[in-house]
A and B are shown apart, each in its own frame.
Chain A
Amino acid sequence: MNRYRPTQRRFAPLSRRQVLQALGLGAAAAPLLPLFNASGEELEGKLPKRLLLVFSPDGIAARDWSTAVDWRPQGSESDFTFHYIHEPLTPMKNKVVIPWGLTLTAAGAGEAHAHGMAGLWTGASLNGPSSGATFDGGNGHLTGWGSGASVDQLIAQGAGGDLPYALAPDAPNQETPYRSVELGVDPGGPTSLNRMIYSGPDSPVHPESNARAAFNRLFAGVTPGSEDAPVDPSAELRRAEQQSILSLGRADLARIRKKVGSEDYHKLDAHLDGLSTLEQRLNSMNTVTPNASCSLPQTPPETQGPGGPGFNELIPPTMDVLAHALACDVTRVASLQLSYGFSYVTHTWLGHTSQHHTMSHDTTDRRKELQDIDNWYSQQFLYLLQKLDSFPEGEGTLLDNTLVVWGRELGTTAHRFERSPLVIAGGKNLGVVGGRYLNFDGQKHAKLLVSIANIMGLAVDGVGNIDPNSGTLAGLV
């Protein structure tokens, strides 16, 4: 297993890089060393745990509820074949779990697409419009924002114990440059239909949709290689300069606080948090050491939008950025949003001429084409899993140390939440046994959220306000 013999016990709060330098070791040796918690005490030598949430849009094809395609795998728990929509996952079957039959725990304002989106990772309801917020909740129905934090953010903000991070989110030095990373490919503008990650009530987290910008940002301080990069003597000066600029921003926010009402204080606090995060990053840039298997991905294409790479062409490079970011310990909690609820993507590469969502409510039967879309998304998911599995870590791979969950905002295209096609992958070293199909018919997906939290080391009985005491999904681990 991924246990490493502790080499030396330390009590001083040294950064990882300081420890490495003191031991005369380079970056390549980093994963062989134990991690230290905030007080410098040694933790059990483990590779970091990671969580990756993936989204693709819309439910399983249905003309109406009674005609929903039954995507149940065929066979027994450990000996089964995937339905067509998941068939491409076959090569990675031994690292995949199909939790068949879960009903999404989602409720609230807007269309099902909107509160499905808000509830997918939060288990919380979608607020109605308030304070003049009039976000598109589908077909012109107005909503506010979701009412709770998503499970990935709860995990990212947690610290200690068996969680991915030992250091608290406000610790001056961080174990990774980013507490969490959110990427999207065509994730749409900031409306309730298009956002699934929330840091708290009414606080959506926008994904970065420009893979090139994400690449430049995430790997700015990463220097893979067997030796430490030569120290740039001006780096400390540059760091101090940027620190001064951020301090100026803090002082400005303090002055603005006197000019606005208490109704706006949370906006200033959010900005202060953002500045703090940048300060932490400045501090941590010097101390974070990439894992042994870290390498930089190919530089993603520059342009987006009309004339640029299409939706399908941007998915692999974006997945590469995420996988390499996890491999390089740029972050340990991440999400990837492909399109959005109410997807207007036209899958021209599948020969389609109508948009995804439009086809889902067409007057003619488009179930075959809709399943082709599902099958195509499985091919994308397979690419991601294989990528994660290509990074050796300890005696296994990055995928073995990463819990991957793929969800959608609906059960079926008939706007029902039952039997939502969720997929779990990886996480072998976190206790997830792959190669299984489990029948959870009728059980609430809030239980899955609780299981995700528990697997990642967050001890809770409920996630979200819809079913706050759901308990875990018995039998998953």
Chain B
Amino acid sequence: MTGDETQTSGESETGSTDQGEVPQDPDELKRACEERDQTLSLGLTKLRRLTRRQLNNTLFSLLGVAPGAADGLAPDEKLGPFENNAITPITDLLVEQIQEMAQSVATELSSRRTEIMGCDATIDLTCAQRFVESFGEKAFRRPITEEESAALLAIFELGQANANADHGFALLIQAFVQSPSFLYHVDVPANGVATSTVQRVGLHTLASRLSYFLWNSMPDDTLFALAQDGSLADEAVVEAQVARMLSDERAQSVIGLFHEQWLGVAGLEEKTKDADTYPVWGPELAASMLDELKRFTSYVVRDGDGLLRTLLTANFTLPDENLLALYGVTPPPGFSVGDVVPVPNRSGVLTQPAFLTKNAHFDRTSVVHRGLVVRRNVLCQTVDPPPNNVSTALPEATQVSTTRELLELHLESPSCAKCHQAIDPLGYAFEHYDPIGAYRVTDGLGVIDASGEFVKTGKDLQGSYADAAEMLAMMAQADEVERCVADQWFRFALARMESLDDACSLVELHEKFQLSGGNLRDLIIRLALSAPFLNVRSTNEVSP
């Protein structure tokens, strides 16, 4: 099939702020760094709206609002695999949805006025002003100006004059929650003005960067105090804070969130599976799988050896009873959820049910989806679009004995083979795991062949493998995978894509990650102390 004149192939347009593609090849990346002549350069940090998850967490930390307040907002965009609202401008619908969210938060808090304000504005004339000033700093995650607090106080007084203090409080909450200073991440240097040159990030911005990176929520009192008194300018203080924050339970959720998004597992609970074949599938099992992913990845990163190799090859996990049943493992004596349990035929996070189930169909596995996630998210490779108007229907299957043989028909068509020869073998490795991630020897059609070989991969990732365990053991040692994982954590930590201006930072990050033996805990700490994290550049325009 050939395209006609109305269907031209997609050409990437690079915007004026882009400095071109970041090379995957490490030598090219090094050259890009050398061209930058030892001066520190950084990609741009843009204005971005808090995600729904960040709003929920922040409203909880700030006001004890029940989770889910932001769930009515239009869903978040993604940068790479990660939720992030840095690109598309807000829409009228979102502005109205935020207004509705603010009103329902105010209603929820209506009975807690004196508790939240810390004083009774009906008898204490300075109560409202004190509250606006102290609360405003937390809500805006930076000091609040006199002009701002005066305007907010006026809102309270308007409501009080129109009705009573409760109403004034409700309006004040509505105003805070709808404030752009609450809704957006505004990363600025200490002088609070957009910068076209690399500058040290302001300490309040740094506090927010740390808390949204490691907790996906607002800074706590300790971080605010360290920003306020200037201590956070000391990198040793930052390092100590990172250690403190990593040991907090909120970091467990964030490490889980990273892996959930990195491995494309979000939305697992919405998958439907053939109830006749997989009667155990349902929301409860989906929740078990996501919880396991969170517990396992957090354990490896925070409590275990911290190694990427362990993440990708561990023959243990931290299951619950539902998953022990799926693994065919009898609960060890005295078992409780959170225990480390050895499991047969498993090799790290990519052989856990969350990844395998999300990337499988209703009644059969999906070699292509599993392979594609590995190729894109674990090897950081882009897959070229197929020629337009190619028929994606496979040829008629006549005499095949396994799903694999069915899929190998991809290779009979040159237009399919171009991409699928590099995708499918990565997916074949997981064929021992059925659509809900249970281990199997046959797929109903024939005996599983999970072997494959690396195609279109780097020079240190070559050769063939018998199954997922072998493939993942090879990947766990590959520089290519290490660099990709480091890049993904860079995107997650900085809440932006890397750019050519980050070349030197990336080279350094890759080298240090490699030197640490692929230690993820070390990588997280290093990122928080890296030049891109401690500095900011927010515009290409040189200020007049």
Contact = CB atoms under 8 A, between A and B. Distances in A.
Interface of B is mostly: loop
A128 interface: yes
B406 interface: yes
Nearest to A362: B393
Interface stretch (A159-167, A266-274, A447-455): A266-274
Nearest to A251: B151
Which of A136, A190, A305, A361 has most chain B Cβ within 10 Å?
A190
A226 interface: no
B414 interface: no
B338 interface: no
5 contacts: A128-B12, A139-B372, A268-B180, A274-B92, A346-B362
A202 B77 CA distance: 13
A354 interface: yes
Interface in A219-239: 234, 237
Contacts of B86: 132
Contacts of B390: 415
Interface of A: 62-65, 103, 105-112, 115, 125-137, 139-145, 182, 189-191, 199, 202-208, 210, 213, 217, 234, 237, 240-241, 244-246, 248-249, 251-253, 255-256, 258-264, 266-271, 273-275, 277-278, 305-307, 346, 348, 353-355, 358, 361-364, 414-417, 444, 466-467
Given A131-B15, A260-B539, A64 B393 contact: yes
A207 B75 CA distance: 10
Residue among A128, A132, A269, A275 facing the most chain B CB atoms (10 A cut-off):
A132
A136 B390 CA distance: 19
A275 B102 CA distance: 14
Interface stretch (B2-10, B119-127, B309-317): B2-10
A208 to B, nearest CB: 6
B193 A258 contact: yes
B18 interface: yes
A389 B7 CA distance: 38
Given A213-B100, A258-B193, A131 B87 contact: yes
B196 to A, nearest CB: 7
Contacts of B393: 62-64, 361-363, 414
A427 to B, nearest CB: 26
Given A109-B385, A133-B79, A249 B179 contact: yes
B184 A278 contact: no
Contact of B6 (A248, A307, A417): A417
B392 A415 contact: yes
A141 B196 contact: no
Contacts of A141: 10, 383-385
A125 B384 CA distance: 18
Interface of B: 1, 6-8, 10-15, 17-18, 44, 46-47, 72, 74-80, 86-97, 99-100, 148, 151-152, 154-155, 158-159, 162, 171, 174-175, 178-181, 184, 186, 188, 192-194, 196, 269-270, 272, 274, 283, 361-363, 372, 375-376, 382-386, 388-394, 396-397, 406, 409, 496-497, 499, 538-541
Contacts of A63: 391, 393
Given A132-B496, A134-B80, A259 B193 contact: yes
Contact of B362 (A266, A271, A355): A355
Contacts of A264: 46-47, 538-539
Contact of B497 (A132, A140, A270, A466): A132
B186 A205 contact: no
Given A132-B496, A259-B192, A361 B394 contact: yes
Contacts of A202: 88
A245 B148 CA distance: 12
B391 A129 contact: no
B44 A261 contact: yes
A267 B89 contact: yes
A269 B90 CA distance: 9
A206 to B, nearest CB: 4
Contact of A106 (B7, B11, B91, B151): B7
B186 A260 contact: yes
A140 B370 CA distance: 12
Contacts of A467: 6
A337 to B, nearest CB: 13
Contact of A241 (B148, B171, B388): B171
B380 to A, nearest CB: 12
Contact of B78 (A115, A135, A241): A135
B155 A244 contact: yes
B152 A277 contact: no
A134 B79 contact: yes
A278 B95 contact: yes
